[in-house]
Amino acid sequence: MRIDEAFHFSPEFAGLVEACWQRSNPPPEWSVTREQFQRLLERSVIQRFSGSQMDPKGMEKYLDGLHLDDLVLAGACSAGNAAAWDFFVKQFRPELYRAASAIAGEPCGRELADSLYANLYGLRETEGRRQPLFDYFHGRSKLSTWLRAILAQRHVDEIRRARRTAPLDDAATEDDSSSAGKAQFRSTGASHDPDRLRFIAMLQTVLTAVLATLDSRDRLRLAYYYVDELTLAQIGKVLGEHEASASRKLNRTRQSIRKSVEEALVKEKRLSPEQLGLCFQYAQEEWPFDLTGALSLRD
Contact predicate 77/70, CB 8 Å: no
Single out the residue of 52, 162, 133, 127 nearest to residue 298, CA to CA: 133
In the chain, beta strands by DSSP E = 125-126, 129-130
Q: What is the mean pLDDT of the chain?
A: 81
pLDDT on residue 109: 82
- Give the whole-angstrom CA distance, residue 143 versus residue 7: 24
Q: Which CATH class is domain 176-285?
A: mainly alpha
> In terms of pLDDT, which residue wins out, 105 or 136?
136
CB-CB neighbours of 30 under 10 Å? 19
pLDDT tens per residue, range 238-283: 888 888 888 889 889 988 999 999 999 999 989 888 888 888 887 7
Q: How confident is the model at residue 19 (pLDDT cuts 50, 70, 90)?
A: very high
Contact predicate 96/155, CB 8 Å: no
> In terms of pLDDT, which residue wins out, 269 or 104?
269
Q: What does R_g of the chain's alpha carbons equal in angstroms?
A: 21
Q: How confident is the model at residue 185 (pLDDT cuts 50, 70, 90)?
A: very low
Half-sphere exposure of 173 (CA within 13 A, CB side): 15
Q: How confident is the model at residue 186 (pLDDT cuts 50, 70, 90)?
A: very low
Which has the minimum average pLDDT: 101-110, 183-192, 247-256?
183-192
Q: How confident is the model at residue 190 (pLDDT cuts 50, 70, 90)?
A: very low
Q: Give yes or no for residue 184 having a pLDDT over 70.
A: no
pLDDT on residue 48: 86
Q: Give yes or no for residue 179 having a pLDDT over 80.
A: no
In the chain, the percentage of residues whose pLDDT exceeds 70 is 81
pLDDT tens per residue, range 122-154: 766 666 667 888 999 999 989 998 898 888 888
β-strand 125-126 against 129-130: which pairing, if any?
Answer: antiparallel
Q: Give yes or no for residue 286 having a pLDDT over 70.
A: no
Q: Give yes or no for residue 75 having a pLDDT over 80.
A: yes
pLDDT on residue 188: 39
Could you tell me the residue ranges of all domains in the chain?
11-162, 176-285
pTM as predicted? 0.59
